[in-house]
Amino acid sequence: MPHIRFAIFDMDGVLYDFDRSTRLHLLEDLTGRSAAEIHEAVFGGPHENEAEAGTPDTAEGYLAQFGRLLGHPIDFETWADVRRKSMRSRPRVFDTVRRLKNHAAVAMLTNNGMMLKAALPDCAPEVVEVFGEKAHVSAEFKTRKPDPLIFRLVCTKYGFAPEESAFVDDSAKNVAGAVEAGLTGHVYRSPDALEAFLSGLDLI
């Protein structure tokens, strides 16, 4: 096995439980539109994938687009509150990452737009505590998982070769993209399996 010096973690589905239905119902209460209508208008088209790839390229631009698609004005605090209420941290996984930091550098990479980047302190304070400035959204790199390019860009940013790096995501498709880029990949299924993977790399 390669000597791993850098580990990258997905956010939703790894560090947090993320309940999309909760988010839709909260937006339903806010707007009076049905959850199905909101899903189709906001998340069902190309706009979210485009935002994850960097268009719009600012939090303000993302929020303005979100409000237009939602058909209802929404401010930063409300958006962040809805996102926060749709998430639940996984303390054991965060504890594992804290242990890992004694042996390797860590970063976070989530497919999200610039609005989430700006809102991390409000809706994901554990991420800010553990990853600091190394908490990234895909929009920063102008592409999104599973494109192998994004993994190479993150590794290069921090001075690690892909072969020195590992990636953890609950999406097998995203992990396959990382493996194609040269990283060692792990599809997250449970805290026990994650710990076994990292132990096998002599990281915890």
CATH code of the domain in which 41 resides: 1.10.150
Contact (Cβ atoms closer than 8 angstroms) between residue 133 and residue 33: no
C-alpha to C-alpha distance for 159 and 151, rounded to whole angstroms? 12
Contact (Cβ atoms closer than 8 angstroms) between residue 140 and residue 120: no
**Both 13 and 25 in a single domain?**
no
pLDDT tens-digit profile, the chain (204 residues): 679 999 999 999 999 999 999 999 999 999 999 999 999 999 999 999 999 999 999 999 999 999 999 999 999 999 999 999 999 999 999 999 999 999 999 999 999 999 999 999 999 999 999 999 999 999 999 999 999 999 999 999 999 999 999 999 999 999 999 999 999 999 999 999 999 999 999 999
Structural domain contains residue 1: no
**Both 64 and 124 in a single domain?**
no
Structural domain contains residue 78: yes
* Domain span including residue 30: 19-85
What one-character DSSP code corresponds to residue 201?
Answer: T
**Both 100 and 53 in a single domain?**
no
